Amino acid sequence: MSEKKKLRVATTSLAGCFGCHMSFLDIDERLFPLLDLIEFDRSPLTDIKHCGPCDIGIVEGGICNAENVHVLREFRKSCKILIAVGACAINGGLPAQRNHLDLGSCLTEVYLTEPGLAHGGIPNDPELPLPLDKVHPLHEVVKVDYFIPGCPPSGDAIWKFLTELLAGKTPELGHGLIKYD
């Protein structure tokens, strides 16, 4: 058993709040047995900037700008299994609450008409990623293999999901662990 090659896992947060990552850390001391099974590639935990070939990619947050698209595509290409974690990744979540507003009027409101924006202007630095007109869940942009719902899903839910998946089962959360809020 201990001889077994560790699975390589990458994680990232796109249009999210890192809350799902915090919740992931809520598995607490179970991180140690988990680390017997996996090792981390790109992740806020490792500070690796680009995702290499991985077994599992865990993505938090939805898609609200061009950079999100690039990162998500990189994850999809590099990871055998892609897991969307949390409300934002699954249905757009809080950032998607802007979807019924016109992007132009959002930018105008924020950068041009708000008081106190002397010499304001809509930022046009090519370094900045452009926002999409609407926020989208991950599965509308790439194929997603699994979803762990919740805002955020609890550490217990993430633990159960991952351990079942690593054990080769189709993960089920069950009452108390599955939640959308």
Partner 1 sequence: MFSCGTSVVPSLEPILLKHGNDAGQLLQILTDVQQAFGYIPPEAVNRIAAHLNIPLARIRGVASFYSFLKLEPHGEYRLLFSDNITDRMLGNQSLLDEMCRQLWLQPGKVSEDGLVSIGLTSCTGMCDQGPAMLVNGRVITRLTPQRVREIGDLVRRRIPLEDWPAEYFVVEDNIHRAGPLLSNPFTPGDALRAALGMGEAEIVDAIKRSGLRGRGGAGFSTGLKWAACQQAPGSEKYVVCNADEGEPGTFKDRVLLTRQANWMFEGMTVCALAIGAGRGYLYLRGEYRYLLEPLQDVLQQRREAGLLGRDILGHAGFDFDIEIHLGAGAYVCGEESALIESLEGKRGIPRNRPPFPVTHGYRQQPTAVNNVETFCSAALALAMGVDNFRAMGTEKSSGSKLISVSGDCARPGIYEYPFGVSVQEVLDDCGAVNTLAVQISGPSGICIGPNEFNRKLGFEDLPTAGAFMVFDDSRDMFEVARNFVHFFAHESCGFCTPCRVGTSMLKQTMDKIAEGHGTRHDLAEVENLDLVLQTTSHCGLGRTACNPVLHTLKHFRPAYESKLKSLDFEPAFDLDGALARARRMTGRDDAGAHLKAEDV
Partner 2 sequence: MSHTFQLDGANIGFEPGQTVMQAALAAGHYIPHLCYHPEFKPHGSCKLCTVKVNGRTLASCTMPAEAGLEVESNTDELNALRRTLVQMLFAEGNHFCPSCEKSGNCVLQALGYDLEVHSTGFRHQYPDRPVDASHPEVLLDFNRCILCELCVHASAEVDGKHVFALAGRGIEKHLIVNAESGQLADTHFSVNDKAMAVCPVGVILRKEVGFSQPIGMRRYDARPISAQALEDAPRVPAGDSHE
Interacting residue with partner 1 among 129, 146, 155, 166 (CB under 8 A): 129
Nearer CB in complex with partner 1: 140/172:
140
What is d(CA 121, CA 6) in angstroms, rounded to the nearest whole number?
A: 49
Q: Does residue 142 belong to the site contacting partner 1 (CB under 8 A)?
A: yes
Element housing 161 (H / E): helix 155-166
The partner in contact with residue 142, picked from partner 2, partner 1, none with C-beta cut-offs of 5 to 8 angstroms by kind, is partner 1
Longest alpha-carbon distance in the chain: 64
Of 33, 52, 53, 123, the residue at the interface with partner 1 (CB under 8 A) is 123
Separation CA 21–CA 25 (nearest Å): 6
132 binds partner 1 (CB under 8 A): yes
Q: Please give the residue ranges that form the binding site for partner 1 (CB under 8 A).
A: 66, 69, 73, 77, 102-104, 107-108, 122-124, 126-127, 129-134, 136, 140-143
